[in-house]
Amino acid sequence: MIKRSFFALSKPGLTCDLLEPDPEAPQKIDVPALLTLLLPEPLDGSRDVLIQKGDPVKKGQKLQLYEDSIDYAVSPVSGTIKSIDTFTADDFSGLRTRIAIEKDTQATDQIEYPEMKHELSFAARHLNHLPGAPPFARLARTEVPVNSLIIMVSDTDLLTTTSQYMGTVHAATLQKGVQILKQITKVPKIYLVLPDRLQDRVRFDSMTLLPARLEYPETLPAMIMKNHLDKILPAGKTPEEMGICYIRAEAVVSLARAFETNAPVFEKCITLIDKTGTRHRVEAVIGTPLGQIFSQLGIQINELDRVVIGGPMQGFATFTPHHPVTPDMDTILVQDRKTITPLSDNNCVNCGKCIQVCPADIPVNLLVRFLQAAQYEAAADKCDLESCIDCGLCAYVCTAHIALSQYIRLGKHELQKLRTDV
């Protein structure tokens, strides 16, 4: 963990990690006997579900809850569905459904995969699950047409190098993927964000390169828009609402591989940072429980340790080491309980450190007072709640150890509810 420097006149220097020279190939994690696939859609008790406990599934079979479901998973193995249930996700995204599949070790058959088509609707129906979570579902929606596609060969959060690895080591495949992407999406502008310090290590042709500095939060989507595209993200809007879509390098590589083999891809590349801060690069099949990765790497998880999915600034802590690998899981951070800084219920002491670090110029010291008093509309009107880009820096520096990010997240959530109620 990067601590405050002794002399602290300047901002904290949090820098995203740079991919090491000559990166090693990821360590392969064995396909486990029991896999779990997640769907963002909850079970609806009043409707008939398409898939049932006990159903046999084949490798490559598409699993969705209802005929009209947009979300689906694709089974990475052949076997049997052991259970389907809905649970509350640990990243505040609401209810989700998990499908547990027991692998049949004998089965070698796999589903006949439909012929790959260079069509967006095809991609949305068949390729959403690819490692790297390509945003085809979003691209297929047409209310706000996407006019810029930004391929991220840079990682947004600290510590992780997954996107850099996938983008540079597989640069040739990535280029092929970009061609397919162009044909599928017909988006006029495609950019590629590359850490400036990787520029001389890899070449990309016929794409506009956006060299990103590694200083956090320069790597976040809103900052890339601001610094490179000269577009300010309006408060409360997402880049997607502005017609800008970000896509991970890994998603583009997976796309190219899927077209190459005419088969789905399930191997997800993950950067794992263990308790000692050592970085491991692993490749695990989507649905693999994290526990399997930990035991294969010899990482001991003890009571009250913290397992973070995503980076230290923007990830979320999972409550169970059974959490499966998902298509968008770039990073796993394991923290020893001893290194966890406790939060407090202190008041803000107005030290102003948050003001100095906030990239969105939000008066966090005032904002937190409104949020603590549950005045969400005032927080948005007077203190720019919606301008926050969730970088987490304010909470990282807060002298009073206030759970600022949590308040902000909750505030945005409640505000949304208030607005939709009206």
List binders of other proteins among 374-393 (CB under 8 A). 384, 386-387, 389, 392-393
CB of 405 to ligand SF4, least distance (A): 6
- CB-count exposure of residue 201 (10 Å: 0-12, 13-18, 19+): middle
From first CA to last CA, the distance across the chain in angstroms is 44
Name which of residues 33 to 72 contact other proteins (CB under 8 A): none
Q: Decide if residue 89 touches other proteins (CB under 8 A).
A: no
By CB under 8 A, residue 230 contacts other proteins: no
The window from 41-49, 124-132, 348-356, 411-419 that contacts other proteins (CB under 8 A) reads 348-356
Nearer to ligand SF4, 209 or 378 (CB): 378
Which residue lies nearer to other proteins by CB, 65 or 270? 270
Residues at the contact surface with ligand SF4, assessed by CB under 6 A = 348-354, 357-360, 362, 364-365, 368, 388-394, 397-400, 402, 404-405, 408
Radius of gyration (Cα) for the chain, nearest Å?
22
Contacting other proteins (CB under 8 A), which of 25, 50, 232, 418?
A: 232
**How far apart (Å, rounded) are the C-alpha atoms in residues 81 and 289?**
16
Q: C-beta of 326: minimal distance to other proteins in Å?
A: 17
Instruction: Please count the other Cβ atoms lying within 10 Å of the Cβ belonging to residue 92.
Output: 11
Q: Which residue has the tokens 């609402």?
A: 241
Least CB distance to ligand SF4 at residue 300 (A): 32
Site string for other proteins, 234-253 (x = CB under 8 A): xxxx----------------
Q: What residues from 281 to 320 belong to the interface with other proteins (CB under 8 A)?
A: 291, 294-295, 301-308, 310, 312-320
Report if residue 82 touches other proteins, rule: CB under 8 A.
Answer: no
> Please, which of residues 119-138 interact with other proteins by CB under 8 A?
none
Partner that binds at residue 3, options ligand SF4, other proteins, none, CB closer than 5 to 8 Å by kind: other proteins
Q: Which does 305 bind (CB under 5 to 8 A by kind): other proteins, ligand SF4, none?
A: other proteins
Instruction: State how far the Cα of 119 lies from the Cα of 186, in Å rounded to an integer.
Output: 10
Crossing angle for the helix pair 404-421 and 364-372, to the nearest 10 degrees = 60
Output the smallest distance, CB 296 to other proteins, in A: 12
Which residue's CB is nearer to other proteins, number 83 or number 208? 83
Task: State the Cα–Cα distance between residues 373 and 389, nearest whole angstrom.
Answer: 22
406 binds, among ligand SF4, other proteins, none (CB under 5 to 8 A by kind): other proteins
CB of 296 to ligand SF4, least distance (A): 35
* Using rule CB under 8 A, residue 221 touches other proteins: no
Contact 32, 103 (CB under 8 A): yes
